[in-house]
């Protein structure tokens, strides 16, 4: 059985509205359904919908999390600049503190991210082409 969609579960984004899809090319999210929704089994809290940049991908790789190299065994094509990807809120915060945080799609960032990162910081990094 598939997990309920965010609208079926009433999941909100950081703006207090219905959570929107983050990305499907490549498919992202803890559930690999395109949404940055989470549950208690998601230790990393994959709640921040980001628009990755080359500098962030380089930074992430240097931190031990290579997101750019394809891993065919896991059907992971590797990310490239401009891809939308659900990042772990603590990892995004770490990148922010190091001056390397990618932009954020607020409409697709789950409200739970606010437990880690303040709304003011997220708004300062808002991706401008939002619906």
Model confidence at 9, pLDDT cuts 50, 70, 90, reads low
Extract the tokens encoding 111: 């409200």
If one counts the domains in the chain, the total is: 1
The reply to whether 131 falls in a domain is no
User: What is the helix, strand, coil percentage profile of the chain, to 5?
Assistant: 30, 20, 50
pLDDT in tens, 71-113: 998 888 999 999 999 999 999 999 999 999 999 999 999 999 9
Per-residue model confidence (pLDDT) at position 1:
43
Alpha-carbon dihedral angle through residues 105, 57, 78, 111, given to the nearest 10 degrees: -30
Parent domain of 117: 6-124
Q: What is the CATH number of the domain that holds 32?
A: 3.30.56.110
Asked whether residue 1 is domain-assigned, the answer is no
pLDDT tens figures, 54-74? 999 999 999 999 999 999 988
């Amino acid at each position: 059985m598939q997990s309920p969609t965010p609208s079926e579960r009433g999941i909100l984004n950081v703006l207090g509205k219905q959570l929107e899809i983050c990305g499907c090319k490549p498919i992202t999210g803890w559930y690999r359904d395109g949404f940055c929704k989470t549950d208690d089994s998601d230790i990393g809290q994959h709640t921040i919908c980001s628009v990755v940049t080359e500098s962030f991908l380089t930074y992430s790789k240097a931190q031990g999390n290579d997101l750019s190299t394809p891993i065919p065994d896991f059907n992971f094509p590797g990310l490239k600049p401009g891809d939308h990807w659900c990042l772990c809120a603590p990892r995004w915060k770490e990148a922010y503190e190091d001056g390397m945080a990618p932009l954020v799609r607020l409409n697709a960032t789950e409200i739970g991210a606010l437990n880690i990162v303040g709304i003011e910081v997220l708004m300062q990094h808002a991706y401008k082409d939002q619906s």
